[in-house]
């Protein structure tokens, strides 16, 4: 493989984007998504590929090539060659490119959202939110130059100054999951690139189209050739990313088993790694909670995007030793009211009007969700609402699961211990707020937890004692905006530094300390072997 032919060339204007607005790969039926290497969209030479299926119809949307290792190495080589000129590009120039990038994403938001719904299956309004969340990350990246400043201390010793600066790492990589086809790639590449790194992106093989579209927009925005590269594939490419010595840092979002594997493999190679995994978030409903507001929040958080997101609400703790829940007679009545609200959720293909809940990503995912539901029933859980047998007219082959609620769930049941990634709510009982907090703290996959109450005392106790990275008070999905770092804890996050905010800057940069001394002449002809201190 002649890697020199893929060495990035100096961009002119906006890299002459007109030459790639209608790439030939779109003309296939079905189209075969290309890799982006050295600023060019190139078809993989691999004969092996994976079909991308529309979850609502099972129609083939596109094909993803299982990229060869040689092609992956070409992408890394391209990123490595692009790094020196990109790190020396003034940060204001990088900032202008990011401003243009977010402008182009807004321009093409309709196309991006339609692509997400076609590949992922989520409702179109959820797809728009996915893109908008990504835009927020780009907007945040546009202002990160203020967070990359160093520190200066004058005259720390006689005639000696010291200062620290933040420098980019080099080639970084991102491994994406299907949950948020737009937000997750943007989440990774925007922060890495604005810090002066170059990037190799591996999109999810289930939802590759949006990543290709985003790469096209990045080129149109003026990102120089080789700064961003995309390679498609499966496990072989993941292993190659973990083992490639030229890749200095890896970002990953996805399931726990994959995250643990990537963290272990990459960390042994000395790479920085941030791995956000797990999806078993909890809500504690106090007896004094506002009924309608709480029920609406629980339904939205539990069934939105078909439960396929890392901050999906999976478990609800009721009871808490009171004879009433949300002003109702008992916990069972609360569960019945929850079921009534869940039945109002409209299940249909994501492209249809007024749909609330679309299909899950694949037949394998549906089978896994149904298996865990049945295991819960067999273990003694009560099926308050069963969405397994739902049929959507016109989409009989879709991977649909309606809202499902299981009650009488205990912490020892497999359905509670395992990740669902589906529209399923588990209802547990607790005798007190202390027991409810203990349930949350013992679950290793809990990214976040919320409490619904009108008591400030209960809210403060919950906030102080719950051991999770994201806490919500009368709000179900406690995800902060990009300028406030996404925090996770325990096994649901592996790594030292998280994603957004200051932590994101720290992850994608390294500190260099410079100590300097300038003298017109030496005080002595003799060399001093003493360590300089403030006393000398």
In the set 81, 115, 310, 415, the catalytic residue is 310
**Residue 9's pLDDT band (boundaries 50, 70, 90)?**
very low
Query: Percent of the chain having pLDDT more than 90?
Result: 65
According to the model, what pLDDT value does residue 517 have?
86
pLDDT at 491: 60
pLDDT confidence of residue 485: 60
69 with 241: CB under 8 angstroms? no
Which residue is it, tokens 């737009």?
Answer: 182
Query: Over the stretch 173-197, which tens digit does the pLDDT of each residue have?
Result: 999 999 999 999 998 999 999 999 9
Neighbours of 391 (CB within 10 A): 11
Q: Which of 256, 248, 253, 246 is nearest to 272 (CA)?
A: 248
Range with the lowest mean pLDDT among 4-8, 142-146, 508-512?
Answer: 4-8
Neighbours of 300 (CB within 10 A): 15
| Cβ contact 172:250 at 8 Å | yes
The pLDDT score that the predictor gives to residue 89 is: 95
Residue 54's Cβ-side half-sphere holds a number of Cα atoms within 13 Å equal to 18
Q: What is the mean pLDDT of residues 254-266?
A: 86
Considering the segment(s) 35-278+492-512 as one domain, its CATH architecture is 3-Layer(aba) Sandwich (3.40)
* Average pLDDT value over all residues in the chain: 87
Residue 363 to residue 283: CA distance in whole angstroms: 29
Six token digits for residue 84: 């020196």
Domain ranges of the chain: 35-278+492-512, 281-473
Percent of residues, the chain, with pLDDT higher than 70: 85
As a dihedral over the C-alpha atoms of residue 102, residue 508, residue 268, residue 513, rounded to 10 degrees, the angle is 170
3 state DSSP class of 383: strand
- The pLDDT tens digits of the residues spanning 474-503 come to 998 656 666 666 656 556 666 666 666 778
Statement: residue 311 has pLDDT above 90: no
Query: Annotated catalytic, 310?
Result: yes
List residues bridging with 406 in a β-sheet. 383, 426
The pTM of this model reads: 0.88
Q: In this predicted model, what pLDDT tens digit does every residue of 362-371 receive, in sequence order? A: 999 999 999 9
**Which candidate, 20, 2, 71, places its Cα nearest to that of 43?**
71
Q: Say how far apart CA 382 and CA 57 lie, in whole Å.
A: 32
Region 281-473: CATH code: 3.40.309.10
Please tell me the least confidently modeled range out of 90-94, 323-327, 488-492.
323-327
| Both structure tokens of 218 | 């990045």
At residue 14, the pLDDT reads 38
* Confidence class for position 534, pLDDT limits 50, 70, 90: low
Lowest mean pLDDT among 17-26, 45-54, 338-347: 17-26
């Amino acid at each position: 493989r002649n890697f020199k032919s893929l060495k990035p060339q100096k961009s002119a204007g906006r890299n002459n984007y007109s030459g790639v607005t209608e790439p030939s790969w779109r003309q296939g039926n079905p189209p075969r998504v290309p890799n982006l290497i050295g600023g060019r969209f190139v078809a993989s030479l691999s004969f092996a590929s994976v079909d991308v299926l529309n979850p609502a119809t099972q129609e083939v949307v596109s094909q993803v090539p299982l990229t060869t290792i040689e092609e992956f190495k070409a992408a890394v080589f391209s990123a490595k060659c692009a790094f020196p000129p990109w790190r020396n590009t003034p940060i204001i120039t990088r900032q202008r490119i990011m401003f243009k990038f977010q402008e182009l994403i807004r321009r093409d938001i309709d196309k991006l959202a339609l692509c997400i719904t076609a590949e992922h299956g989520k409702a179109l309004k959820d797809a728009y939110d996915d893109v908008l969340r990504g835009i927020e990350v780009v907007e945040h990246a546009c202002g990160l130059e203020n967070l990359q400043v160093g520190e200066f201390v004058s005259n720390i010793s006689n005639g000696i100054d010291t200062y620290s600066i933040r420098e980019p790492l080099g080639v970084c990589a991102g491994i994406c999951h299907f949950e948020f086809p737009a937000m997750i790639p943007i989440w990774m590449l925007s922060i890495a690139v604005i810090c002066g790194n170059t990037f190799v992106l591996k999109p999810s093989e289930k939802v590759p189209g949006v990543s290709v579209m985003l790469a096209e927009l990045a080129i149109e925005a003026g990102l120089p050739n080789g700064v961003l590269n995309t390679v498609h594939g499966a496990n072989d490419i993941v292993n190659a990313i973990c083992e490639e010595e030229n890749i200095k840092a890896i970002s990953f979002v996805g399931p726990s088993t994959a995250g643990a594997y990537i963290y272990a493999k990459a960390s042994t190679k000395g790479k920085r790694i941030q791995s956000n995994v797990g999806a078993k978030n909890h809500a504690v409903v106090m007896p004094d909670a506002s009924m309608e507001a709480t029920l609406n929040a629980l339904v939205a958080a539990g069934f939105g995007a078909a439960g396929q997101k890392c901050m999906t609400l999976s478990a609800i703790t009721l009871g808490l030793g009171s004879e009433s829940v949300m002003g109702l007679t008992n916990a069972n009545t609360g569960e019945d009211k929850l079921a009534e609200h869940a039945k109002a959720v409209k299940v249909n293909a994501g492209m249809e009007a007024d749909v609330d809940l679309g299909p899950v990503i694949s037949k394998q995912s549906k089978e896994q969700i149904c298996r865990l539901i049945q295991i819960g029933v067999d273990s003694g859980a009560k099926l308050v609402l069963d969405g397994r047998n739902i049929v959507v007219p016109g989409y009989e082959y879709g991977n649909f699961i309606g809202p499902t609620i299981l009650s009488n769930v205990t912490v020892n049941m497999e359905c509670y211990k395992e990740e669902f990634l589906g529209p399923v709510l588990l209802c547990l009982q607790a005798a007190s707020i202390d027991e409810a907090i203990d349930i949350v703290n013992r679950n290793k996959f809990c990214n976040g937890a919320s409490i619904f109450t009108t008591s400030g005392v209960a809210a403060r106790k919950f906030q102080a004692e719950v051991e999770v990275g994201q806490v919500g008070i009368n709000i179900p999905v406690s995800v902060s905006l990009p300028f406030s770092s996404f925090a996770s804890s325990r096994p649901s996050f592996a790594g030292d530094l998280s994603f957004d905010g200051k932590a994101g800057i720290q992850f994608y940069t390294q500190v260099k300390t410079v100590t300097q001394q300038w003298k017109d002449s030496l005080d002595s002809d003799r060399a001093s072997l003493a360590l300089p201190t403030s006393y000398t």
